[in-house]
Every structure is written in C-alpha cells, then in structure tokens.
Amino acid sequence: MSESIRLASEDYEIQRCYAVMAELRPHVPSHEFIARVRRQHEFSGYRLAYLADGEVKAVAGFRISECLAWGKFLYVDDLVSGSSDRSKGYGGALFDWLVEHARENNCDQFHLDSGVQRFGAHRFYLKKRMIIEGHHFALKLKS
C-alpha cells in the first residue's frame, strides 16, 4: 500500500474527496461541496485531509481551535473511509495522522463527536484509546 495523506488546498483536490465524504454527508450536494468547504475554512479554519492510494480512500474534515474547556484542540468534524475500503487500515492511518497533526500544532486535546447509531465507528474510536466524556445535545432551528 503506497498511500499518501495530504491536505486538500486546490479545488480539484477538494472535489476528489467528495465521493467518500458523501457517504458520511449525503445531504451535501456535489455542486455545493467546494464552496461549503471554502466557507468553513474561511470562517473557522476547517481543512480536509485525505488519504489516497491512487483513488481517495479516506477523508477527514477538521479544525484547530481554542476554548476555555479544552484549551487548544483539534476537532474532527468528519472522518470516513469509502465503504469498499473499510477495515483496510485507511481510516486508522488517517486518524493517526490527525493525532500527530494535533501534536505538531501544540494542541492540548483531540475531540470528535459520533452519531449514536455509528456502532462500528465507536468501536474504532475506543480501539484508538479515545474515551467517552459526555453527551452532545442539539436543537434544530430550521427544519
């Protein structure tokens, strides 16, 4: 496996990530993907990292921020491997890269949320030594 992890900076790189990201975020239309990633980057520093072995195999959307509760932290908004590429080590390699990226950027903590129905993802995060620290609550303001 000759995989390579890169940060998507050019529009064509961002678009390359869409097919895999759409498995996690199917509500985001392809024609809006680049603009939404760019807006999030401008607003909050959101970045896309992707692992490619010829084709994109896994994608992560993340940001580095700071708050009173956690200090400086890397927050993973999105982490997904392509459905045909799960359990092949791509997601694990990308996860490990994200943790190292957080360390290189002097983050105090590494965080993510995961939907309650994503049992496979929970097993993965627990194997990666993450702990469950709380509940995430939401209130939808638009239907």
Q: Does 132 map to a domain?
A: no
Task: Single out the residue of 62, 55, 51, 12 nearest to residue 33, CA to CA.
Answer: 12
Is the predicted pLDDT of residue 1 greater than 80, yes or no? Answer: no
Average pLDDT across the chain, whole number: 94
Number of domains in the chain: 1
* Residue for token pair 């993510």: 112
Q: Does 70 map to a domain?
A: yes
Q: Does 139 map to a domain?
A: no
Interacting residues of 65 by C-beta distance below 8 A, sequence separation 6+:
44, 45, 72, 73, 75
The DSSP annotation for 73-142 comes to EEEEEEEEE-GGGTTSSHHHHHHHHHHHHHHHTT-SEEEE---TT-HHHHHHHHHTT-----------S-
- pLDDT band with cut points at 50, 70 and 90 for residue 49: very high
Q: Does 133 map to a domain?
A: no
Q: Please, what is the Cα angle at 93 between 88 and 94, to 5 degrees?
A: 115
Q: Does 142 map to a domain?
A: no
Is the predicted pLDDT of residue 38 greater than 80, yes or no? Answer: yes
User: Is the model more confident about 3 or about 116?
Assistant: 116
- pLDDT band with cut points at 50, 70 and 90 for residue 3: low
Percent of the chain surpassing pLDDT 70: 98
Is the predicted pLDDT of residue 59 greater than 70, yes or no? Answer: yes
What pLDDT, on the 0 to 100 scale, is given for residue 85? Answer: 87
Percent of the chain surpassing pLDDT 90: 88
- CA dihedral (138, 120, 62, 133) positive or negative: positive
The 8-class DSSP code of residue 31 comes to: H
Residue 33, domain extent: 4-127
What pLDDT, on the 0 to 100 scale, is given for residue 96? Answer: 97
CATH of the domain at 70: 3.40.630.30
Q: Does 51 map to a domain?
A: yes
Is the predicted pLDDT of residue 105 greater than 50, yes or no? Answer: yes
- For residue 43, the surrounding DSSP H or E stretch is helix 30-44
pTM to 2 decimals? 0.92
d(CA 80, CA 90): 9
User: Is the model more confident about 3 or about 46?
Assistant: 46
